[in-house]
Amino acid sequence: MTARPEPPFLYVVVCAAGIAAGVGELIEAARERGWATGVIATPVALNGFFDVDAVAERTGRPVRSAWRTPAEARPFPPPDAVVVAPATFNTLNKWAAGISDTLALGTLCEAYGLGVPIAVLPCVADALAAHPAYRASLARLRGMGVRFGEPYTGEPLPDGGRPPFGWTRALDLLDRP
Ligand SMILES: Cc1cc2nc3c(=O)[nH]c(=O)nc-3n(C[C@H](O)[C@H](O)[C@H](O)COP(=O)(O)O)c2cc1C
């Protein structure tokens, strides 16, 4: 009997933007497209920005946020691709600067060197996006081959609702598994 091949593994990095509450939609869409997923949240995102238990149940793995101890085995297999959604102003600037003081940032900094595809859906208000450091960060990350979805500001529509985030854009930016 031949062993069934493991599905390719997608890291989903979740930052602390209000829209993060909907990340289950991305995980479900990834599963439908043949990805297994593991979620790495920033420490702030872990603090009430999405339903951590529901996401852990959906992915079948604990949500990671803290570094493992040296004695612990790596809880996730190495990534075949990485998605950052939603990506905050803070995390994008720190990543571009090579700062690695959270597991999420360390994972992103390392992903470039691993050469795996990285897709990003920023969620950054226009007032923050105007900052020159942000524009420089995006230029640097694009120069590293990072793939970006259209900007999303999260600004409310005239009717008070919010435009859809379009989670699956992140998967469209990746090569098919
Ligand atoms: C309710 C709420 C919603 C937020 N939404 C956003 C957002 O859409 N984009 C963003 O860049 N920051 C947003 N922030 C600010 C970030 O949470 C803050 O900058 C945080 O330090 C980001 O941490 P992280 O990049 O490590 O996830 C929001 C904060 C709160 C309290």
1-28 burial code (b ≥16 CB/10 A, e <16): eeeeeeebbbbbbbbbbebbeebbebbe
Q: Is 93 in the pocket of ligand 1 (CB under 6 A)?
A: no
Q: How far is CA 140 from CA 46, 135, 137, 147, in A?
A: 27, 9, 5, 12
Looking at every residue in the chain, the average pLDDT score rounds to 95
Ligand 1 mean position to 88 CA, how many Å? 6
Indicate which atom in ligand 1 lies nearest the CA of residue 102.
26
How do residues 87-100 score in pLDDT, each as one tens digit?
999 999 999 999 99
Q: Which helix (H) or strand (E) holds 126?
A: helix 126-129
How do residues 46-61 score in pLDDT, each as one tens digit?
999 999 999 999 999 9
Structural domains in the chain, sorted by start: 9-68+77-172 (3.40.50.1950)
Q: Is 81 in the pocket of ligand 1 (CB under 6 A)?
A: no
Quote the Cα angle for 82-84-88, to 5°: 155
Output the residue whose Cα is nearest ligand 1's atom 10: 88
Ligand 1 mean position to 45 CA, how many Å? 8
